[in-house]
Chain A
């Protein structure tokens, strides 16, 4: 068991110099003291864990409560009390920013606090790491027998030859070796030379630092991404006029603050054919599942020849740096409305899929007097029953299409109220009855004639420009690149000492090792090094001293993971592990390259 309980208290790693600035006295002492306390609380690891927990809770809230940027209409219904827990509760939720969690003050403040805490913890660790890489050396050890893994063998080579071989063996295995040239002369003479090596000390902590630093890359990419990004949506009917990439032609238009309208290239997109199909056999496995979504489009660059391309579910088109993705689709019945023989409306209506298995849309014809409004319900598969009446089914394929509508007359209030294209605000309208139509049919209702000559399909495309993607990928790559060594680089030290045995006159080689993580995995590595060294020096393998306390079986404590790391680590740790530059075991000599006074080292 490790040295935990018998260790003398750790010497102060660094003496904090008193601040030069006098601390404010009088009435400000309290404020100053509180600020200092708050700062110390903030930069503790435990606080960071709590903050992460609260952040996680906020994302749960965001999942349970509809979010304004995603589904504004649902939020509206919550606020008006039509849905959700009621208008009163919704108002309270709104006051706390629960409808826009990711843009709310608490979320941003938490993120900022986490980053401040992370920065405060990283700066000293980065400094320590740089110091570690630049000045630390594998320490020499006086009593090799006190290490966790010790093995000895005898050979007839001279100590210097053994040491040279050991350096080669360890060097080939990528151990970092202590260069003896820099040692002060008195140390070289005071004790027999030894080979000291270590590994994992830089990479484990370095990986952890890289992992944490990648969050800054990700944060910067997200912030700048928000400013530079562009996202717009637009639906196109098959074979109908396409759309041009300009600011005004999008149905929904969400540019970042730094995205300029002149950044649009002005290419044109036409939908030639849209392929969609399903498993139609009701008895087949996966009945009703879609099997195909594919649009064949023609792209016309602003100054070039039109070309044809295909947009698939997983294959968006890239046009002039803009990514065009299929988002949505629906049927587009063409509806013609004539009032007193005059055509007041003739267009494809983009009907969107509803839960009930039908597609709904609206016709708004303000050209008529009074205005004509139609609520449309498109049933793609409504075969005729025995009585000749259509039976609407939920099937989405258009084998027996039927258009059901309800007509309204009155003031559509197009200018006065905010309304969506697909819904009719019926508050100022009077119902004039409804009817259903098969393709090619028309019906007269009052002075209006409504006809449904044909239908096509429409596809909703999202056009997006995300210049932050390369930076995000780089951040993600750094994150993974740091995570792997942070979790899988184990810190180990190894010493090889060859000495003449006064009794036998042969050379006794001792290979001692110490594992800071996963000691049981080190056993095999140590044994392999001993075997290789023994073979290379023509030695006879003599004994492999087991560590004194390695017992196994139930009830017997067995030192395993991170044995030295249990109670001497600073607060921000493991993924945030601070490097222990100096071994605190009593038999370790000071690393002379470090300028620290010798009194810092505990000697036996």
Chain B
């Protein structure tokens, strides 16, 4: 019976929830492309968005059912090992990302990216899959759900923020390339630049074929402004900063390298996919704002979760802070995101540079999460079990 339930919870997670999220993501992404199309296309896009919403709700249902059944199987909250933490991180990321975009920002057309990010995270969590089991006694306290769920929620929110930051950088790169091409027409002079190829001026009438062609040209220019090779190599390198952990810690090098390459290539594919959708994104200011607000929310959660962790450590280990690898990781992540929030407000750093700090902060978070569990053994290394 228990075995059957455990199997059911696994099937609900993978492939059911992952597949539902992925299909919802693609439906939403399709809907995004119709926002610049003809009236009937936009109508189709609206219907697609509704389908996407249904698929998302089904995916969330499967995901939550998975968490509940897994909780019943092991008679405890599913927050005890890396698989469970990553799975919940994806759930929070999707809930917060989709909920924020749909209900607060009223921009449901961007849901596709949040869902795609969540599905990728869930795919990664399958690399960490562990069968349900009991909990170490030191974890068996009310502190754990508080401290861990706080931090896991913050991680999910940071994951959503990472998606927005990445989209911001892509969009910004495209816009800059277009702007640079335009000033080069006027030989570097900005005087009169506004009159040359005013590709994005004034809302074009989408049902007027001329304006549509005009806009299509601009979209093509935006996409062309992002160099493919640079993006692919860059994504590979940045992902590699985290995914090397699998290479190093997997017992068989062949499996390790396969995992390393799988993670990296999936991320590269996601980046290239995002590049294709760049023309349909909202302005850089909106994306930057989305990233900032999500980081701000995650930062508060992270702060509270870390303080709760220190309080628990004082009770459980008799010291509130001991620079354990995980504690160092929490500190580093906190400093990195504090750096992002400050950079965003600092002259000369805000904008692209701040966004890169945001990307770096996410790398720090994921890196310390994996390293502290796999590479360096510390007091927090329960998750390996």
Is A487 touching B300 in the complex (CB atoms < 8 A)? yes
- A263, CB-defined interface residue at 8 Å: no
CA–CA, A520 to B323, complex, Å? 42
- B349, CB-defined interface residue at 8 Å: yes
Tell me the interface secondary structure of chain B in the complex: helix
- A469, CB-defined interface residue at 8 Å: yes
Is A59 touching B346 in the complex (CB atoms < 8 A)? no
- A464, CB-defined interface residue at 8 Å: yes
Q: Closest approach, in angstroms, between the C-beta of A264 and any C-beta of chain B? A: 17
Q: With a 10 A CB-CB cut-off, give which of B140, B346, B348 has the most chain A CB atoms.
A: B346
- A555, CB-defined interface residue at 8 Å: yes
Which of chain B's residues have a CB closer than 8 A to the CB of A241? none
Given the contacts A472-B320, A553-B35, A558-B286, A291 and B345 also touching, CB distance less than 8 Å = no
CA–CA, A484 to B299, complex, Å? 10
What mask results when residues 115 to 148 of chain B are scored 1 for a CB within 8 Å of chain A, else 0?
Answer: 0000000000000000111111110110100000
Closest to A565 in B: B345
Q: Closest approach, in angstroms, between the C-beta of A357 and any C-beta of chain B? A: 16
What mask results when residues 292 to 303 of chain A are scored 1 for a CB within 8 Å of chain B, else 0?
Answer: 111000000000
- B199, CB-defined interface residue at 8 Å: yes
Closest to B336 in A: A56
Is B289 touching A560 in the complex (CB atoms < 8 A)? yes
- B180, CB-defined interface residue at 8 Å: no
Given the contacts A55-B335, A483-B299, A566 and B317 also touching, CB distance less than 8 Å = no
Given the contacts A314-B138, A571-B346, A325 and B335 also touching, CB distance less than 8 Å = no
Given the contacts A102-B323, A286-B133, A327-B318, A560 and B347 also touching, CB distance less than 8 Å = no
User: Which residues of A in the span 460-501 have a Cβ within 8 Å of any Cβ on B?
Assistant: 462, 464, 466, 469, 472-473, 476, 479-480, 483-484, 487-488
User: Which residues of B in the span 215-239 have a Cβ within 8 Å of any Cβ on A?
Assistant: 215, 218-219, 222
Is B322 touching A70 in the complex (CB atoms < 8 A)? yes
- B293, CB-defined interface residue at 8 Å: yes
Is A476 touching B307 in the complex (CB atoms < 8 A)? yes
Partner pick for B345 among A231, A488, A557, A576, CB 8 A cutoff: A576
Interface segment, B17-25, B265-273, B325-333? B325-333
- Tell me the count of chain B residues lying within 8 A, CB to CB, of chain A: 75
- B36, CB-defined interface residue at 8 Å: yes
- A425, CB-defined interface residue at 8 Å: no
Partner pick for A45 among B135, B304, B319, B346, CB 8 A cutoff: B346
Q: Closest approach, in angstroms, between the C-beta of A468 and any C-beta of chain B? A: 9
Q: With a 10 A CB-CB cut-off, give which of B105, B288, B293, B297 has the most chain A CB atoms.
A: B293
- A67, CB-defined interface residue at 8 Å: yes
Is A575 touching B341 in the complex (CB atoms < 8 A)? yes
CA–CA, A169 to B284, complex, Å? 36
- A62, CB-defined interface residue at 8 Å: yes
Please report the number of residue pairs spanning A and B whose Cβ atoms sit closer than 8 angstroms: 190
Q: Closest approach, in angstroms, between the C-beta of A325 and any C-beta of chain B? A: 3
Given the contacts A286-B133, A573-B346, A56 and B335 also touching, CB distance less than 8 Å = yes
CA–CA, A469 to B313, complex, Å? 12
- A594, CB-defined interface residue at 8 Å: no
Interface segment, B8-16, B47-55, B240-248, B274-282? B274-282
Closest to B350 in A: A566
Closest to B325 in A: A63
Is A313 touching B316 in the complex (CB atoms < 8 A)? yes
Which of chain A's residues have a CB closer than 8 A to the CB of B311? 473
Is A487 touching B296 in the complex (CB atoms < 8 A)? yes
Is B141 touching A557 in the complex (CB atoms < 8 A)? no
CA–CA, A488 to B348, complex, Å? 24
Which of chain B's residues have a CB closer than 8 A to the CB of A562? 345
Which of chain B's residues have a CB closer than 8 A to the CB of A520? 105
Is A325 touching B318 in the complex (CB atoms < 8 A)? yes
- A316, CB-defined interface residue at 8 Å: yes
Which of chain A's residues have a CB closer than 8 A to the CB of B341? 487, 574-575
What mask results when residues 285 to 315 of chain B are scored 1 for a CB within 8 Å of chain A, else 0?
Answer: 1101100110011011001100100111011
Given the contacts A556-B200, A571-B347, A48 and B342 also touching, CB distance less than 8 Å = yes
Which of chain A's residues have a CB closer than 8 A to the CB of B288? 560-561
Which of chain B's residues have a CB closer than 8 A to the CB of A323? 314, 318
CA–CA, A325 to B318, complex, Å? 6
User: Which residues of B in the span 49-98 have a Cβ within 8 Å of any Cβ on A?
Assistant: 74
- A417, CB-defined interface residue at 8 Å: no
Partner pick for B332 among A49, A60, A312, A556, CB 8 A cutoff: A60
Which of chain A's residues have a CB closer than 8 A to the CB of B322? 70
Which of chain A's residues have a CB closer than 8 A to the CB of B350? 566
Q: Closest approach, in angstroms, between the C-beta of A477 and any C-beta of chain B? A: 9
- B203, CB-defined interface residue at 8 Å: yes
Is A560 touching B286 in the complex (CB atoms < 8 A)? yes
Which of chain B's residues have a CB closer than 8 A to the CB of A565? 345
Partner pick for B328 among A62, A325, A327, A484, CB 8 A cutoff: A62
Q: Closest approach, in angstroms, between the C-beta of A395 and any C-beta of chain B? A: 16
Given the contacts A289-B133, A480-B300, A574-B345, A49 and B283 also touching, CB distance less than 8 Å = no
Is A483 touching B300 in the complex (CB atoms < 8 A)? yes
Partner pick for B203 among A70, A476, A556, CB 8 A cutoff: A556
- A40, CB-defined interface residue at 8 Å: no
Which of chain A's residues have a CB closer than 8 A to the CB of B197? none
Is B140 touching A52 in the complex (CB atoms < 8 A)? no
- A518, CB-defined interface residue at 8 Å: yes
Closest to B36 in A: A554
Which of chain A's residues have a CB closer than 8 A to the CB of B199? 555
Q: Closest approach, in angstroms, between the C-beta of A178 and any C-beta of chain B? A: 28
What mask results when residues 553 to 591 of chain A are scored 1 for a CB within 8 Å of chain B, else 0?
Answer: 111111111100111010101111100000000000000
Given the contacts A56-B332, A554-B279, A566-B350, A285 and B133 also touching, CB distance less than 8 Å = yes
Is A559 touching B280 in the complex (CB atoms < 8 A)? no
- A93, CB-defined interface residue at 8 Å: no
Q: Closest approach, in angstroms, between the C-beta of A281 and any C-beta of chain B? A: 11
Which of chain B's residues have a CB closer than 8 A to the CB of A483? 299-300, 303
Which of chain A's residues have a CB closer than 8 A to the CB of B320? 466, 469, 472
- B182, CB-defined interface residue at 8 Å: no
Given the contacts A53-B339, A558-B283, A480 and B348 also touching, CB distance less than 8 Å = no
- B185, CB-defined interface residue at 8 Å: no
Given the contacts A46-B348, A476-B307, A555 and B215 also touching, CB distance less than 8 Å = yes
What mask results when residues 314 to 348 of chain A are scored 1 for a CB within 8 Å of chain B, else 0?
Answer: 11100000010101000000000000000000000
User: Which residues of B in the span 30-48 have a Cβ within 8 Å of any Cβ on A?
Assistant: 35-36
Is A554 touching B303 in the complex (CB atoms < 8 A)? no
Which of chain A's residues have a CB closer than 8 A to the CB of B280? 554
Which of chain B's residues have a CB closer than 8 A to the CB of A289? 133-136, 385
Closest to A464 in B: B318
User: Which residues of B in the span 137-187 have a Cβ within 8 Å of any Cβ on A?
Assistant: 137-138, 140-141, 143
Which of chain A's residues have a CB closer than 8 A to the CB of B318? 231, 316, 323, 325, 327, 462, 464
Can you add 17 more A-B contacts, CB < 8 Å, to A289-B136, A314-B140, A325-B315?
A52-B339, A67-B323, A279-B133, A289-B134, A291-B137, A293-B137, A316-B316, A323-B318, A469-B320, A480-B304, A487-B297, A551-B202, A555-B219, A556-B283, A557-B284, A558-B282, A575-B341
A-B contact pairs, 20 of them (CB 8 A): A46-B349, A56-B332, A59-B332, A60-B328, A314-B138, A473-B311, A483-B300, A487-B300, A554-B215, A555-B218, A555-B222, A556-B203, A557-B283, A557-B285, A558-B282, A558-B285, A571-B347, A574-B346, A575-B338, A576-B342
Listed from nearest, the 5 A-B pairs whose CB atoms lie closest are: A574-B345, A286-B133, A325-B318, A285-B133, A561-B289
Q: Which B residues contact A (CB, under 8 angstroms)?
A: 35-36, 74, 104-105, 131-138, 140-141, 143, 199-200, 202-203, 215, 218-219, 222, 279-286, 288-289, 292-293, 296-297, 299-300, 303-304, 307, 310-312, 314-320, 322-323, 325, 328, 331-332, 335-336, 338-339, 341-350, 376, 385
Q: Which A residues contact B (CB, under 8 angstroms)?
A: 45-46, 48-49, 52-53, 55-56, 59-60, 62-64, 67, 70, 102, 231, 279, 284-286, 289-294, 312-316, 323, 325, 327, 462, 464, 466, 469, 472-473, 476, 479-480, 483-484, 487-488, 518, 520-521, 551-562, 565-567, 569, 571, 573-577
